């Protein structure tokens, strides 16, 4: 048995430099909402094709726009991770403009969509960031995530993950996907590193202009 197999989840978390998230079922609750596209978006075939390229679904009878719901707590968690020097990435099978917009809003370092074979994206990020598998944490919920979870340094399952995914995880977040599981993962890692409290204080200070001039 390799020595790494005996490491606790906390020991694994202390080594993490890159934190990766699946999207559907992790940063969302897994729901995918489809709405008819506005008439303005369907005025030409070119518009319909463009919509499909951005993650919508084009049908013979018209086009649909895909929407997803994200949790604000996860966004704050990403901010905390980046403040602590941890790079953050998203790896998802689906292609969605909603994911692109949310990733930009959260200032995610890496965004890989359309990834049916997620290890290819992971290997690219390893090369870009100069990290090893042992320094990568991955948060997943379904069997498509298992190839990465079985080899990464810290495999995290959300509370709503499939049984096979929970069995492969080193740690299971207390919250289900789309309800703060991403934040759970960040706080677990930062707590293991011993920097959670100071990172939260730094986050507060950066958003409190002049706070240092006041006495508590």
Measured CA to CA, the distance from residue 191 to residue 86 in angstroms comes to 13
- Given a cut of 60, whether residue 211 has pLDDT beyond it is no
33 vs 160, more confident: 160
**Which sequence spans correspond to the domains of the chain?**
3-30+70-206, 33-67
Say how many CA atoms lie within 13 Å of 45 toward its Cβ: 1
pLDDT tens-digit series, residues 66-97: 788 999 999 999 999 999 999 999 999 998 88
Local structure of 83: helix, strand or coil: helix
- Given a cut of 70, whether residue 58 has pLDDT beyond it is no
- pLDDT given at position 35: 81
- Arithmetic mean of pLDDT over the chain: 87
pLDDT tens-digit series, residues 108-124: 999 999 999 999 999 99
Superfamily covering domain 3-30+70-206: HAD superfamily/HAD-like (3.40.50.1000)
- pLDDT given at position 34: 81
Calculate the CA dihedral of residues 188, 104, 102, 200 and round it to 10 degrees: 30
- pLDDT given at position 26: 98
77 within 8 A of 183, measured Cβ to Cβ: yes
* DSSP class of 15: T
Work out the angle between the directed axes of helices 72-83 and 97-106 (0-180°, nearest 10). 50
- Given a cut of 90, whether residue 7 has pLDDT beyond it is no
- pLDDT given at position 53: 56
Measured CA to CA, the distance from residue 109 to residue 124 in angstroms comes to 13
141 annotated as a binding-site residue: yes
pLDDT tens-digit series, residues 173-186: 999 999 999 999 99
142 annotated as a binding-site residue: no
Measured CA to CA, the distance from residue 210 to residue 184 in angstroms comes to 30
Average pLDDT over residues 20-44: 80
């Amino acid at each position: 048995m390799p020595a790494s197999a005996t490491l606790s989840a906390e020991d694994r978390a202390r080594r993490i430099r890159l934190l990766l998230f699946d999207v559907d079922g992790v940063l969302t609750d897994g729901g995918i909402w489809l709405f008819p596209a506005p008439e303005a978006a369907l005025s030409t075939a070119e518009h319909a094709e463009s919509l499909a390229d951005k993650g919508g679904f084009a049908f013979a009878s018209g086009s649909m726009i895909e929407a997803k719901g994200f949790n604000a707590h996860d966004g704050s968690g990403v901010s905390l991770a980046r403040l602590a020097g941890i790079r953050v990435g998203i790896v998802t099978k689906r292609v969605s403009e909603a994911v692109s917009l949310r990733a930009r809003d959260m200032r995610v370092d890496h965004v890989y969509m359309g990834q049916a074979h997620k290890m290819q994206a992971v290997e690219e990020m390893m090369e870009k960031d100069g990290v090893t598998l042992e320094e990568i944490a991955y948060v997943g919920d379904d069997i498509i995530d298992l190839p990465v979870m079985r080899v990464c340094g810290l495999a995290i399952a959300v509370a709503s993950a499939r049984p096979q995914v929970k069995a492969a995880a080193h740690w299971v977040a207390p919250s289900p996907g789309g309800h703060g599981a991403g934040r759970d993962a960040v706080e677990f890692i930062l707590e293991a590193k011993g920097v959670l409290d100071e990172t939260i204080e730094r986050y507060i200070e950066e958003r409190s202009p002049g706070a240092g001039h006041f006495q508590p």
